[in-house]
Amino acid sequence: MKDITKELLEIAEHDLNAAKNNLKIGDYAVACFYSQQAVEKYLKAFLVEKGVFNPKKHKTHNLKILLEDCIKIDNDLRELEKYPLGEISLYSIITRYNISAIKNITEEDAKEAIEIAEKVREFILKKLNI
């Protein structure tokens, strides 16, 4: 496995743990932000490992775009389309720049975001034979 893939996966694990810890203390917006970050890094790790990561094209935080590029490599990743990755993508922005959105994020939102991040994690690690 490439060193950069390992690094991205390690950071993704850190982000997912941060999401869970913030859920426990009731900081739901931060939990959602870190869930989005974890998903982003799992998908980017897959792209890196498969040799198609493009730093300019994949600078995006849009999880749907990243997933589309992953699907081009392995059609099995269509399985992840059942999760609302477009909605999860929004957490990368609204949790940093929109106070009313931050105040409206619920515990259920955070739990759902973490659950999705865990599902993506499981799927990507399996695809990378980890």
pLDDT value, residue 57: 65
Query: Is the pLDDT at 110 greater than 70, yes or no?
Result: yes
Helix 107-127 vs helix 85-97: angle between axes, to the nearest 10 degrees?
120
Q: CB of 2 within 8 A of CB of 44?
A: no
For residue 48, how many other CB atoms are within 10 A of its CB? 22
- For 13-36, the pLDDT digits (tens) are 999 999 999 999 999 999 999 999
Neighbours of 112 (CB within 10 A): 17
pTM (predicted TM-score): 0.94
Rg (the chain; Cα; Å)? 14
pLDDT per position as a tens digit, 48-90: 999 987 766 667 889 999 999 999 999 999 999 999 999 999 9
Q: Which of 50, 13, 58 is nearest to 127 (CA)?
A: 50
120 token code pair? 């993506």
> Distance between CA 73 and CA 42 in Å, rounded?
15
pLDDT of residue 56: 63
CA distance 83 to 64: 10
